Amino acid sequence: MSHNSPAPIHLGKRSVVPETPEKALLDRVANPHPRERYVARFTAPEFTCLCPVTGQPDFAHLVIEYAPDAWLLESKSLKLYLQSFRNHGAFHEQATVGIGKRCVEILRPLWLRIGGYWYPRGGIPIDVFWQTGPPPAELWLPESGVAPYRGRG
């Protein structure tokens, strides 16, 4: 579910973690620089969800980057949305791509990409990457800062 009203629903207010990602409301705020082309990055190094088969916890380091148009993603709503996965069953691909699509739905950015750097399950890390298309040519895109798996440290 997305929230499209002009006034943020979480910012500056007491909020609780939604029971499920479907019940979470992502919020947006007006971009103060809509004519500029730049990248905003959110990093969530302690993302958690549950394996939908075993119920065991899965952990990931998520990196969400986007080139905003009219809207910015309100960070408190993103934090609550990501926390709502804590007791939610989702495969790595489902969680990573789903989070990216949900952000695109609310923001309608010029470009967005998400990297899900998952810690090993059964000895194999599964990294998932999704983007809306090629980034605009004039954007500066620094490296994600997440190392290929070697203990993720």
Among 115, 126, 125, 128, which residue's Cα sits nearest to residue 63?
Answer: 115
- Closest residue by Cα to residue 53 from 122, 152, 153: 122
Among residues 27, 49, 58, 103, the one annotated as catalytic is: 58
d(CA 34, CA 107): 12
d(CA 93, CA 142) in angstroms, rounded, equals 24
Q: Can 49 be counted among the known catalytic residues?
A: no
> What is the rounded (10 degree) CA torsion for 2, 56, 52, 84?
-10
* Annotated catalytic residue within 51, 69, 103, 127: 51
Residue 103 catalytic? no
Q: Which helix (H) or strand (E) holds 129?
A: strand 127-131
Q: Which residues are catalytic?
A: 51, 58
